[in-house]
Amino acid sequence: MANPSPIKTYSAEVIEKAPQRTAPVLHTFRLVLGRFTVERWITLAVFGLMFAGWQFVSTSGMVSEVVLPTPAAAWSGFWDLVDNGYHGWTLAGHARLSLQRVSLGFLTGSFVGTMLGLAMGYDRRIKDFFDPLIEFFRQLPQLAYLVLLIVWFGIGDRAQITLLFLTALPVASVAAMDGVRSTSIQRLQAARSLGANGWQVFRYVVLPSTLPEIFTGARLAIGVVYATVIAAEMIGGSAGLGWMILNAGELLRPDYVVVGIIILGILGLLLDRLIVGIERRVVHWAGRT
Amino acid sequence: MWRQVRSLRTVTGKPQLVSFVGAAPAVSAGGATRSLLRVAMSIRWLSVVSIALALAVWQVLNALRVVSPDLVPGPTAVARTFVDILVHGYRGTTLLQDILATLYRVAAAFVLASILGIPLGLAMGYNRWIRAAFDYVVQLTRPLPPLSYYILLIVWLGTGNSSKIALLYLTAFPILVIDTMAGVRATPIQKIQAAQALGANEWQIFRYVILPSALPMIFSGMSIAMAVTFSTVVAAELLAASDGLGWMVFSASKFLRNDVIIMTIIVLGLLGVCLTRVIRALDKHVIHWRGVE
């Protein structure tokens, strides 16, 4: 060939040699840097400023160590908690206790609530019957009846899990009910005219179109349950992250308090992500209808 | 939904087995009777029945001494306590005083959070630099259980009203910011483009296009924030307070006055329903075009 296309040979050469030419470390570095837009730099700068402010205020001697621990003190407090635990429980033990309560209360409460909500959405009479009770419990501050539950069941897991059950139930049932009631009438009619029976309409039309709402309810419910378990452990508990924070605060150990708050934030974020992840798997058609 | 299913059954030609309370057509009725019937039909009778049933079961269980009346006092005992506290007050505070103390904390924090949170949310939705600066800070505070930092606030501000208002403010603030921002960002681009094509300037677009279309989200954020604030104030008062409804529950539990606890719970539930109604009425008044579009 007298005049081979120079572009072709060049690109072939580049493709062949590319892996050897860029070191993998440099490659990842460029990828990471490439994603750093101005927005990300601003975000980073704000977090940096906040951290610097914390460091400055806590080390300058303007406030006492009891009021605000230094970042270094919080960091060593974290390792202290990891190594020695807190009042008979390891840090992971406290976290496990809290999460156990959350999952038990959330699972039972949202299961019963969702079932009730589906029935309430399907039949007007069931809705009218349960509506006042659900509405009352939904508006009621959860901690108000914790005291009563403690008097009835004693301090311990039974009162706490009952409380979380009662917290999750109305949230889940209202979401499920709204979901059923917003099922599009056209789909129902289509299924009916194709000869679907009541169960088939429920299983293949109502339930799938309700699932996104059910998951929205689950996300709301786990947030409320999580916030409630911490409050409940503070008011009537003897272990768990909420109790640990309150106890450390009363004993003037703000380093432990700060560590506890950060752990609670991370766990809360993870719980929310967990529900979103399950929703993505189950409602895989979301946004595509 | 129910009406939908019913009409479906008639469509498919199946016999109409469905009948529910209050739906019987008033066949031969005069004008007065008909309007009376209409009023009777508009009340959800099953709801009335369910409340009455709950009260009846409670009374019967109490009368049969299934559980000790000290643990679960009956409805009449609770009603008597209510009248007693209304007249004589509870441990030096009147009921109204406690209700007002709780409402004051909620209202102060809520107004403060709205004044600061809604403009910040609007700015974050409108400008991406501002959003970049505050988005992660706000998003990271949202999953925190409100009570977790209460003990720090007590150490900083004492056990009085200021630490409670700060706590409730921090509870409501991220919810308001995030929902307002989402409302701004959900403005349909077509509307903005239409306004631009008609010659609106930036301020006009913000005032007449973006703000109205963000309002429904702002109000839904406000109602969520109100509910969360209300349940948080009770928790905070249970932990450290000397007045307020949460304190009443706490103090009654120390003296094993379950009648007072149950009465306060009922008052709290009714108050919660009222607060939600207030926000809903405000919503209806401001967003008079909801459902018309």
CA dihedral B61, B67, B72, B78 (to 10 degrees): 50
Q: Which of A42, A249, A260 sits opposite B132 (nearest CB)?
A: A42
Q: Which of A45, A226, A249 sits opposite B145 (nearest CB)?
A: A226
CB pair distance less than 8 Å for A265 and B141: yes
Q: Which of B120, B149, B148, B147 is nearest to B135 (CA)?
A: B120
Q: What percent of chain A has pLDDT over 90?
A: 22
In a domain, B62, yes or no: no
- Can you tell me the ipTM of this complex? 0.77
Q: To which residue do tokens 């659900």 refer?
A: A134
pLDDT > 70? residue B96 = yes
Please give the residue that has the higher pLDDT: either B280 or A62: B280
**Mean local confidence (pLDDT), A254-279:** 90
Q: Are B99 and B242 contained in the same domain?
A: yes
In a domain, B78, yes or no: no
Mutate to test the interface with B, among A37, A41, A42 (most CBs of B within 10 A): A42
CA–CA gap between residue A45 and residue A48 (Å, rounded): 5
Tokens of B3: 């009406």
Q: To the nearest whole number, what is the mean pLDDT of chain B? A: 82
**pLDDT value at residue B19:** 38
CB pair distance less than 8 Å for A129 and B128: no
In a domain, B47, yes or no: no
Q: At what angle do helices B128-141 and B161-185 cross, to 10 degrees?
A: 130
CB pair distance less than 8 Å for B46 and A264: no
Tokens of A105: 């209360």
pLDDT > 90? residue A136 = no
Q: Are B22 and B131 contained in the same domain?
A: no
CB-based contact B160:B98 (threshold 8 Å): no
**pLDDT value at residue A34:** 61
Q: What is the CATH number of the domain that holds B237?
A: 1.10.3720.10
Q: Are B203 and B100 contained in the same domain?
A: yes
pLDDT > 50? residue B21 = no
Mutate to test the interface with B, among A35, A101, A143, A201 (most CBs of B within 10 A): A143
Q: Are B33 and B100 contained in the same domain?
A: no
At B124-182, the pLDDT tens digits run 988 888 888 888 888 888 888 888 888 888 888 888 889 999 999 999 999 999 999 99
At A63-115, the pLDDT tens digits run 777 778 888 888 888 888 888 888 778 888 888 999 999 999 999 999 999 99
What distances in angstroms separate CA B286 from CA B184, B212, B279, B283, one per listed residue? 17, 10, 11, 5
CB-based contact B165:B112 (threshold 8 Å): yes
Q: Are B240 and B155 contained in the same domain?
A: yes
pLDDT band, very low/low/confident/very high, at B293 (cuts 50, 70, 90): low
Tell me whether B256 touches chain A (CB under 8 Å): yes
Tell me whether B231 touches chain A (CB under 8 Å): yes
Cα-Cα end-to-end distance for chain A: 55
* Domain ranges within chain A, ordered by starting residue: 6-59, 84-282
CB pair distance less than 8 Å for A249 and B154: yes
Tell me whether A160 touches chain B (CB under 8 Å): no
In a domain, B76, yes or no: no
In a domain, B63, yes or no: no
Other beta carbons within 10 angstroms of residue B292's beta carbon come to: 6
In a domain, B37, yes or no: yes
**pLDDT value at residue B198:** 93
Q: How many domains does chain B have?
A: 2
Shortest Cα distance, chain A CAs vs residue B201, angstroms: 26
Domain span including residue B20: 2-42
CB pair distance less than 8 Å for A141 and B47: no
Phi, psi of A184 (to 5 degrees): -75, 135
**pLDDT value at residue A104:** 94
pLDDT band, very low/low/confident/very high, at B194 (cuts 50, 70, 90): very high
- Topology annotation, domain A84-282: MetI-like fold (1.10.3720)
In a domain, B55, yes or no: no
Shortest Cα distance, chain B CAs vs residue A283, angstroms: 23
Q: Are B35 and B118 contained in the same domain?
A: no
**pLDDT value at residue B291:** 61
**pLDDT value at residue A99:** 93
CB-based contact B237:B102 (threshold 8 Å): yes
Q: Give the total residue count for chain A.
A: 289
Tokens of A267: 């766990």
Q: Are B103 and B36 contained in the same domain?
A: no
CA–CA gap between residue A139 and residue A134 (Å, rounded): 9
CB pair distance less than 8 Å for B145 and A131: no
